[in-house]
């Protein structure tokens, strides 16, 4: 998400505030996930049984919470995209971006299902660590491939429109 923070500074103020707030929520989620299980930084075999049970019990909440956060964020992001005068549902770039959101949601659901099924077979700290790494990679890749280029394109349209004004000719 830090990569994306540079680009969101270029949005309209109202859109910027929505996206900035949601990115802070997602970043807080990732920090909380990273810090949720002390075992994810150690060897689970050294954790007390109570600590291990606590980490295990919290895992479903983390898995389902990111799905909710991401879904709301993607919905807001798409509404912002569609609020641009030249963007419609049929616009090719919007279609690709929307499909990327759908694919991310499917990947999040699949990861959640996978980790829920593994929780009795694996060290819980390892699951937290892998989930954190996969989420971070997925969101950063999405930002680089879709969000930053979209924000840049909206800025380019604004610059182009300014150049077309009679006083700029």
- How far, CA to CA in Å, does 51 sit from each of 24, 36, 42, 121, 124? 28, 11, 12, 17, 10
Whether 169 is covered by a domain: the verdict is no
Whether 61 is covered by a domain: the verdict is yes
What is the extent of the structural domain holding 57? 2-152
Whether 163 is covered by a domain: the verdict is no
Q: How large is the angle between the packed helices 124-142 and 49-82, nearest 10 degrees?
A: 10
Q: What is the pLDDT of residues 2-14, one digit of tens each?
A: 445 545 556 677 8
Please state the domain count of the chain. 1
Cβ of 123: how many Cβ atoms within 10 Å? 20
Q: Which tops the pLDDT comparison, 2 or 122?
A: 122
* Half-sphere exposure in the Cβ direction for 54 (13 Å, CA): 10
Whether 160 is covered by a domain: the verdict is no
DSSP class of residue 115? Answer: H
Q: What is the pLDDT of residues 34-88, one digit of tens each?
A: 888 876 666 566 677 777 788 888 889 999 999 999 999 999 989 988 888 888 8
- CB distance 37 to 125 below 8 Å: yes
Whether 109 is covered by a domain: the verdict is yes
């Amino acid at each position: 998400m830090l990569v994306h923070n540079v680009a969101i500074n270029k949005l309209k103020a109202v859109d910027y505030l929505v996206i900035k707030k949601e990115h802070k929520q997602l970043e807080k989620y990732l920090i909380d996930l990273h810090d949720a299980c002390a075992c994810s930084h150690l060897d689970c075999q050294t954790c007390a049984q109570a600590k291990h049970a606590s980490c295990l019990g919290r895992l479903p909440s983390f898995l389902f919470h990111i799905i909710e956060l991401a879904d709301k964020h993607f919905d807001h992001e798409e509404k912002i995209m569609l609020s641009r005068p030249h963007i419609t549902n049929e616009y090719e770039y919007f279609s690709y971006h929307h499909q990327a959101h759908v694919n991310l949601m499917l990947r999040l659901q699949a990861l959640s299902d996978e980790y829920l099924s593994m929780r009795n077979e694996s060290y819980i700290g390892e699951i937290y660590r892998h989930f954190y790494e996969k989420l971070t990679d997925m969101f950063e890749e999405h930002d680089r491939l879709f969000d930053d280029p979209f924000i840049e394109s909206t800025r380019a349209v604004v610059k182009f429109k300014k150049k077309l004004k009679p006083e700029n000719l």
